[in-house]
Amino acid sequence: MRIFFLGDIVGRSGRLAVNTNLKDILEKKKIDFVIVNGENAADQGVGITEEISNDLFNSGVDVITTGNHVWDQKETANHIEREKRLLRPENIPSNSPGKGFGIYESRNGFKVGVLNLMGNVFMKKCDDVFKTAEIFKNKYKLKEDYDFLVVDFHGEITSEKMAMGYFFDGKATLVVGTHTHVPTNDVRILVNGTAYQTDAGMCGDYDSVIGMNKENSLNRFLKKNSIKHYPAEGEATLSGLIVECDTSNGLANKVEPFIFGGGLINNY
């Protein structure tokens, strides 16, 4: 059983790279289940639309997670009620549209739980993420409610993400961070068997400032003439990781980073 996770898709460049290359990657890497974070996938670099979601699903994506930009496209609030494969953070207010957790079937017939969480530090206001995670962990059990569990922790700071990794160690197949758009060099399996990476990076143009046009971003930092952030549109790099899972206990046997295309050093 092999699970493929891709970090935040940023704008048209990131979408094109995923839609063009994913099916080939799935075949070559023998992938059974695919999760992407799509909260920056719209042309403006924030939010996601129904059309974009459908294009990603048609390209081979099984589940799309999000984060603090989930509502930046107005249509999402209605679409997420109908589309159960599109998740929003579990710890945003409970009366929000959609769900933050779902159980899905992999290509080879296993049940995969996907939990979307959002950090509390330097992020939009949301419920206590560790309390939400504790409630979840008391309610659902690995190899009872699902065969595998992937946790996308959408957060700003490394310590909060690392703490969540240890909180789920032995209870999840993978805990992976998103949001900061830079792949961290700490891919590993924790002591109790959970695969972990602080941030998966992004699927976007790295000749940029975290996916946004670099000249405009520099002007904003220098307080010169600038406009609202917009994505860079050069060739995108796909950034993520692949987990080889143990079907007997739902934990990780092996995890490897995945980087392909664009400006980063490739390992595919």
Distance between first and last Cα of the chain:
19
List the structure tokens of 179.
Answer: 């949001």
Which letter, b or e, does each residue of 224-237 get, where b requires 16 or more Cβ atoms within 10 Å of its Cβ?
Answer: eeeeebbbbbeebb
Q: Is 154 a catalytic residue?
A: no
165 Rama class: left (phi>0) / alpha (psi -120 to 50) / beta: alpha
Radius of gyration of the chain (CA): 17
Closest by Cα among 77, 84, 76, 90 to 41: 76
- CA dist 135 and 113 (Å) reads 15
Which residue numbers are catalytic? 69
